[in-house]
Structure 1
């Protein structure tokens, strides 16, 4: 894991004695390709602009930082940071942060990416219940559409904030779906992952999408990102990243293409472009839909049945690709817009 390089102390309500543990990220560092690759593997970034950085904090310091971010996000639409990066995280705190969320140690909703090897964590604060309801509403609509095809809840599991074990760190999604049929396994990867965040967090959300594809060895077939923009106009930007083949041949060319599509960092782009392409390879398909109050651009959204359920549609049934119409998407995203 790359060392974090905080530069300026963040002005907040943290106690003075803890001020040295709370800082914001400064200017980018110069990284070698090998360093960037290691950082990409571990997923925890050396820089997220505006993120709060805590070093060797107590749970009270992390809780206060989470509360500060939550209050600022919900009182000031110009404030956009959702992230706390924690270094030198003690073993007891690692266990506490990853416990059952019914005993939420931070007292606000969050998602956790945890690197136990380097004792670091990335905490994403969920701005409000409305943001969680966007992904939950989408998931509810998906369940209904599957039911109408004859697909019952026994045929899949909904994983909510379940933690998945990657190559060097653990991560939680906002929501995910895993089709049944495989033997139960703690590392039974979902086929579909949903992530929601503020539009200013797009780069990190794309890094999250890359993590799901690469760390699952491309067992994750689809990732949908919901970017909620609050200013100058309220809107939700949906981005679907879908492996065109439900059972992709995992080639270096596929890995390179996924990296090029999802990672904007120049050094990372240089790395994936140096990988030799393979002639026969599946592609990563990207689709963007913009939902505003009263309008939906670029609908419908189509999810491939085989990618979702990891099997072809059964013949002589109503099984097939799942279609979200403009009306469906408007209803799913309604919680992101203030009541007029």
Structure 2
């Protein structure tokens, strides 16, 4: 294994003793909600606790760091960091990371700010993460087929990169309803993100990014949080943002930020934006049971149209049994 270069600052070396001299980013309490909201807006999230920091790395150094993070996550359930933050990234390395091939040799998702030469890499820890996303997506396809909706009526975008105001971002999976005319800039209606439960704060910030940068074309974001200790479980959180006015003002935008960043969410009774936040109706799956099912997706939010009359089209419902099957890979993995 190649040693890290002097230009590299890392919080995830293989030896625990190195952690004392490693530089980490802040603590979960280091940002106020207002500061976090500004971070979301500018986007790149350089306040991720425990993230690995790299400065102007070579591809070999970055690959080593990615494999280090992946190996530690898969060998130590107490290790929870998924993120590598890279500053001063070279143009050739940006192109390698954003290309069709995988230069890091482990699964990852990319957030890239080319102008500032900054990158956030989220390492996908194990096959269970990928299989959970794929299993849920497959169940969604089956339910749409049962309604008579064929795959030609939508596209599944997997890790397609979407360009926001200041940076580009990939989801684990997303769905875009088909239209008569297609634009390269078309945003999905539904986004799925899967991560360790310890990454929840960052995934919550990602939720706002999808809503805001798409100008609220993204209607639904589903977060799957995998907790590995002391007991394995999956927590599902559903975010659904539905504007009831045709124009999103700066004030409403700020209100949506505060709602996503507060815990519990702020009251929305008099708001012109209705933000349904599934922390109010949290779904928890363990190897023994499923609490607070079902998970229901509004048909109109997903397909961007009303259900057709006299058809089987309706809201998309995932029962407790459906969710247990989708999450079974998490509990089977050693």
TM-score range, shorter chain: 0.7 to 0.9
Aligned twin of 2:18:
none
Aligned twin of 1:110:
108
Q: CA deviation at 1:244?
A: 3.8
Q: CA deviation at 1:44?
A: 1.3
Deviations 1:85-117 (A, max 9, x none): 0000001111110001xx210000000000011
Aligned twin of 2:44:
44
Aligned twin of 1:223:
221
Q: CA deviation at 1:14?
A: 5.2
Q: Equivalents in 1 of 2:221, 2:179: separation in Å?
A: 21
Matches within 5 A, 1:314-333: 314-333=308-327
Distance verdict in 2 for CA 1:255–1:194, change over 3 Å: same
Please give the secondary structure, in 2, of the residue aligned with 1:210.
Answer: helix
Deviations 1:171-205 (A, max 9, x none): 00000000011521121000000000000000001
Matches within 5 A, 1:229-308: 229-244=227-242, 249-264=247-262, 281-287=272-278, 288-308=282-302
Q: Equivalents in 2 of 1:75, 1:60: separation in Å?
A: 22
Asked if structure 2 preserves the Cα contact closer than 8 Å seen for 1:192 and 1:220, the reply is yes
Asked if structure 2 preserves the Cα contact closer than 8 Å seen for 1:246 and 1:307, the reply is no
Q: Equivalents in 2 of 1:91, 1:197: separation in Å?
A: 28
Distance verdict in 2 for CA 1:312–1:57, change over 3 Å: same
Q: CA deviation at 1:36?
A: 5.8
Q: CA deviation at 1:308?
A: 0.3
Unaligned runs of 5+ in 1: 1-12
Q: 2:328 aligns with which of 325, 329, 334?
A: 334
Asked if structure 2 preserves the Cα contact closer than 8 Å seen for 1:252 and 1:278, the reply is no
Q: TM-score, normalised by structure 1?
A: 0.86
Q: CA deviation at 1:255?
A: 2.0
Aligned twin of 2:15:
none
Q: Equivalents in 1 of 2:187, 2:52: separation in Å?
A: 30
Please give the secondary structure, in 1, of the residue aligned with 2:273.
Answer: coil
Asked if structure 1 preserves the Cα contact closer than 8 Å seen for 2:113 and 2:119, the reply is yes
Aligned twin of 2:75:
75
Q: TM-score, normalised by structure 2?
A: 0.88
Please state if 1:133 is matched with 2:127. Answer: no
Matches within 5 A, 1:173-192: 173-181=171-179, 183-192=181-190
Unaligned runs of 5+ in 2: 11-22
Q: Equivalents in 2 of 1:212, 1:21: separation in Å?
A: 31
Please give the secondary structure, in 2, of the residue aligned with 1:337.
Answer: helix
RMSD: 2.6
